[in-house]
């Protein structure tokens, strides 16, 4: 069945200039392979749509376990000059957690 | 030589709360307290204050923080390391001495300077001139432990810096106490992991983490800030003062470990290229997490420089609509404002707070809410021009859709930041001692 990332993982957003970072950390380590298989850089790019103008790179941290997404041109100019409400993109962790994946028998 | 060192972090940004730092100094059994108070943009704003008054340009909360902390720092023999010097570490050191004299306390302060590379700006030009962004305000290189270690070698109670890399504030006392070699990249990498976990203070102990019912954090009103007990082999056990609120566990530590990290195998600081991918975290008790396994490679040849520039002004206006068709009326108001202002602003933004203002979408998942707040923002070269945005939003009272309420208007000055690099050998850090 379809589940939201919110159901099985948590996330924190960070910013460097106009680049957004999003961690994706499963509550249970056993859910890591599910995230690794379905939450690809391409899938996240498609999910976030207009939020991220540039490329998304995914890094895998199997020891934690966690995934890290680095999103270029995601903050409409970055914290210092952007006209957006959330200039840091701090709330965007919960935009990632809105993404839906196939949760199998979950 | 010590076998372990305890470092607390009592502030993770310039506006952070004062009480957790006090609690750490009084009850944390610390060797060092670090207050990290300098975001990317903060130093450019401080530079503007220094231009208006040469005795200013340090952290606006410096006085309040030092007044509260100084008696306990001295009584508990805790050394303070902080970047509250911002654009003016020398004036900050003098201010601390003044406060100590007023309190009849003996204090020695070491001010670390050399990060201000504004006079070298021409040497920093790359392809496109930096000044193309706007009138330049400041240029500060991120100094590393090299700049802080000579200050730690003095008998100063307080080490105050301008721009240094955040993790270096924590790595420096570890290298100072343990005599870690500048060539032991794995120790420097692990020390950087420790600094990175601590640098946002409450971020590690359940601040910025809670989601009620899903990620519950107890007693957030009394959130405690973290400390690390670090062994000479670099292993660190993180904790917080007993009785404080908050939560320190694997989940909070993981969120902070990856916070603002680009490539986790190459976390660049002035001291080392740290590798976070082999870090091992373990819960070793209630509100206690052990971290080990950080690694490293030789430091980069160049230092990062943040350049601040004047980016004009932003004007904002807000007004609320509620009840039936609230979103429809707000959208009509937005369209009216767009038509009235579009010829006068090249950069205008219209947001619907309560619907799509923060993520610029709601992914189509959520129904229209009962109330909506229209928010309009525009950028302009002058404050007067920027103010037009709020004026037009306010004028919706008598010239807009039905039942708009609670109009507010704001104008802010904008400071932009661009980053560049500088050769390490062009930067020469310096320590100046002050005493009461």
pLDDT digits (tens, 9 = 90+) for A10-33: 999 999 888 999 999 999 999 999
Q: Give, as one character, the DSSP assignment of residue B11.
A: E
Q: Based on the fold, state whether residues B295 and B319 are members of the same structural domain.
A: no
Q: What per-residue confidence (pLDDT) applies to B364? A: 84
Q: Based on the fold, state whether residues B275 and B219 are members of the same structural domain.
A: yes
Residue B424, phi then psi, degrees to nearest 5 = -55, -40
Chain B residues with CB under 8 Å of A19 CB are: 262
CATH code at A54? 3.30.70
Q: Based on the fold, state whether residues B370 and B409 are members of the same structural domain.
A: yes
Q: What per-residue confidence (pLDDT) applies to A79? A: 62
Chain A residues with CB under 8 Å of B260 CB are: 14-16, 21
Q: Do B279 and A64 touch (CB under 8 A)?
A: yes
* pLDDT tens column, B173-225: 999 999 999 999 999 999 999 999 999 999 999 999 999 999 999 999 999 99
Range of A45's domain?
2-102
Please report which confidence band the pLDDT of residue A78 belongs to, taking 50, 70 and 90 as the band edges.
Answer: low
Alpha-carbon gap: B434 to the closest alpha carbon of chain A (Å): 35
Alpha-carbon gap: B297 to the closest alpha carbon of chain A (Å): 19
* pLDDT tens column, B324-374: 999 999 999 999 999 999 999 988 999 999 998 999 888 887 787 899 999
Q: Based on the fold, state whether residues B42 and B159 are members of the same structural domain.
A: yes
Q: Based on the fold, state whether residues B260 and B314 are members of the same structural domain.
A: no
Alpha-carbon gap: A3 to the closest alpha carbon of chain B (Å): 13
Which residues share a beta bridge with A38?
Answer: none
Q: Give a yes or no: residue B13 inside a domain.
A: yes
Q: What is the mean pLDDT of residues A51-74?
A: 96
Q: Do B415 and A50 touch (CB under 8 A)?
A: no
Report the distance separating Cα A57 and Cα A46, nearest Å: 13
Left, alpha or beta for B137 (phi > 0: left; psi -120 to 50: alpha)? alpha
Chain center to CA of A45: 9
Q: Which letter, b or e, does each residue of B389-421 get, where b requires 16 or more Cβ atoms within 10 Å of its Cβ?
A: bbebbbbbeeebbeebeebebebeebbbbbebe
Least CB–CB distance from B262: residue in A16, A85, A98: A16
Q: What per-residue confidence (pLDDT) applies to B228? A: 98
Q: Do A23 and B259 touch (CB under 8 A)?
A: yes
Least CB–CB distance from B255: residue in A16, A23, A70: A23
The answer on pLDDT for B133 being more than 90 is no
Q: Do B215 and A10 touch (CB under 8 A)?
A: yes
Alpha-carbon gap: B293 to the closest alpha carbon of chain A (Å): 11
Q: Give a yes or no: residue B129 inside a domain.
A: no
Q: Give a yes or no: residue B99 inside a domain.
A: yes
Q: Give a yes or no: residue B195 inside a domain.
A: yes
Range of B430's domain?
4-116+142-300+425-435
Q: Based on the fold, state whether residues B107 and B218 are members of the same structural domain.
A: yes
How many domains would you assign to chain B? 2
Q: Based on the fold, state whether residues B331 and B378 are members of the same structural domain.
A: yes
CATH code at B317? 3.30.70
Radius of gyration for chain B, computed over Cα atoms and rounded to the nearest angstrom: 24
Q: Based on the fold, state whether residues B239 and B157 are members of the same structural domain.
A: yes
Q: Do B361 and A68 touch (CB under 8 A)?
A: no
- ∠ Cα B163 B198 A31 (to 5°): 125
Q: What per-residue confidence (pLDDT) applies to B366? A: 75
Which residue does chain A place closest to B420, by CA atoms? Answer: A17
> Which site among A64, A72, A97 would you substitute to test the B interface, given the most B Cβ atoms closer than 10 Å to its Cβ?
A64
Q: What per-residue confidence (pLDDT) applies to B342? A: 95
The answer on pLDDT for A76 being more than 80 is no
Q: Give a yes or no: residue B368 inside a domain.
A: yes
Alpha-carbon gap: A61 to the closest alpha carbon of chain B (Å): 6
Residues of A with CB under 8 A from a CB of B: 6, 10-12, 14-17, 19, 21, 23, 25, 27, 49-51, 57, 59, 61, 63-64, 66, 68, 70, 78-81, 83-86, 91-92, 95, 98
How many domains would you assign to chain A? 1
Q: Give a yes or no: residue B123 inside a domain.
A: no
Tell me whether the omega of the peptide bond preceding residue B343 falls within 30 degrees of 0, making it cis. Answer: no
Q: Based on the fold, state whether residues B373 and B226 are members of the same structural domain.
A: no
Q: Give a yes or no: residue B330 inside a domain.
A: yes
Q: How many contacts (CB atoms, under 8 Å) link A and B? A: 108
Alpha-carbon gap: B120 to the closest alpha carbon of chain A (Å): 22
Q: Based on the fold, state whether residues B295 and B373 are members of the same structural domain.
A: no
Q: Based on the fold, state whether residues B94 and B49 are members of the same structural domain.
A: yes
Q: Based on the fold, state whether residues B258 and B395 are members of the same structural domain.
A: no
Q: What per-residue confidence (pLDDT) applies to A19? A: 92
* pLDDT tens column, B213-250: 999 999 999 999 999 999 999 999 999 999 999 999 99
């Amino acid at each position: 069945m379809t589940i939201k990332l919110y159901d099985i993982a948590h996330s924190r957003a960070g910013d460097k200039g106009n680049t957004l970072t999003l961690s994706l950390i499963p509550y249970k380590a056993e859910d890591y392979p599910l995230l690794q298989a379905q939450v690809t850089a391409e899938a996240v790019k498609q999910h976030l749509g207009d939020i991220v103008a540039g490329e998304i790179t995914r890094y895998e941290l199997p020891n934690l376990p966690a995934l890290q997404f680095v999103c270029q041109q995601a903050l409409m100019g970055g914290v210092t000059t952007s006209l957006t409400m959330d200039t840091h993109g701090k709330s965007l962790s919960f935009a990632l957690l809105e993404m839906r994946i196939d949760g199998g028998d979950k | 030589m010590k076998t372990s060192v305890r470092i607390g972090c009592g502030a993770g940004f310039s506006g952070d709360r004062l009480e957790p730092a006090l609690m750490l100094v009084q009850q944390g059994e610390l060797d060092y307290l670090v207050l990290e108070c300098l975001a990317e943009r903060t130093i450019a704003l401080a530079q503007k204050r220094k231009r208006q008054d040469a005795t200013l340009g340090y952290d606006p909360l410096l006085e309040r923080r030092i007044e509260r902390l100084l008696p306990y720092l001295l009584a508990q023999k805790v050394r303070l390391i902080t970047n509250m010097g911002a654009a003016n570490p020398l004036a900050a050191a003098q201010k601390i001495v003044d406060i100590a004299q007023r309190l009849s306390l003996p204090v020695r302060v070491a001010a670390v300077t050399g990060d201000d590379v504004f006079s070298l700006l021409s040497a920093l030009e790359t392809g496109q001139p930096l000044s193309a962004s706007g009138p330049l305000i400041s240029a500060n290189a991120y100094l590393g432990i090299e700049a802080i270690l000579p200050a730690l070698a003095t008998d100063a109670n307080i080490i105050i810096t301008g721009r240094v890399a955040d993790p270096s504030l924590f790595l420096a006392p570890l290298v100072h106490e343990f005599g870690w070699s500048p060539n032991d990249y794995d120790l420097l990498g692990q020390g950087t992991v420790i600094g990175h976990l601590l640098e946002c203070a409450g971020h590690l102990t359940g601040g910025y983490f809670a989601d009620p019912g899903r990620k519950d954090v107890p007693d957030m009103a009394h959130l405690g800030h973290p400390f690390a007990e670090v062994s000479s082999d670099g292993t660190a056990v993180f904790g917080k003062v007993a009785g404080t609120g908050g939560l320190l566990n694997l989940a909070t530590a993981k969120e902070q470990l990856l916070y603002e990290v680009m490539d986790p195998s190459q976390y660049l600081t002035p001291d080392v290229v740290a590798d976070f991918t082999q870090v091992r975290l373990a819960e070793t008790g209630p509100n206690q997490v052990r971290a080990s396994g950080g690694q490293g490679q030789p430091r980069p040849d160049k230092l990062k420089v943040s350049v601040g520039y004047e980016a004009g002004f932003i004007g904002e206006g807000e007004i609320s609509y509620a009840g039936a068709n609230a979103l429809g009326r707000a959208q009509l108001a937005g369209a009216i404002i767009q038509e009235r202002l579009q010829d006068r602003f090249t950069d205008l933004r219209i947001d619907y707070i309560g619907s799509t203002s923060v993520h610029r979408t709601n992914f189509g998942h959520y129904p229209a809410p009962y109330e909506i707040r229209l928010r309009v923002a525009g950028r302009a070269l002058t404050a007067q021009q920027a103010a037009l945005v709020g004026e037009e939003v306010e004028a919706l009272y008598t010239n807009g859709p039905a039942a708009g309420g609670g109009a507010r208007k704001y104008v802010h000055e904008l400071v932009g930041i661009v980053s560049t690099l500088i050769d390490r050998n062009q930067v020469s850090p310096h320590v100046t001692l002050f005493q009461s």
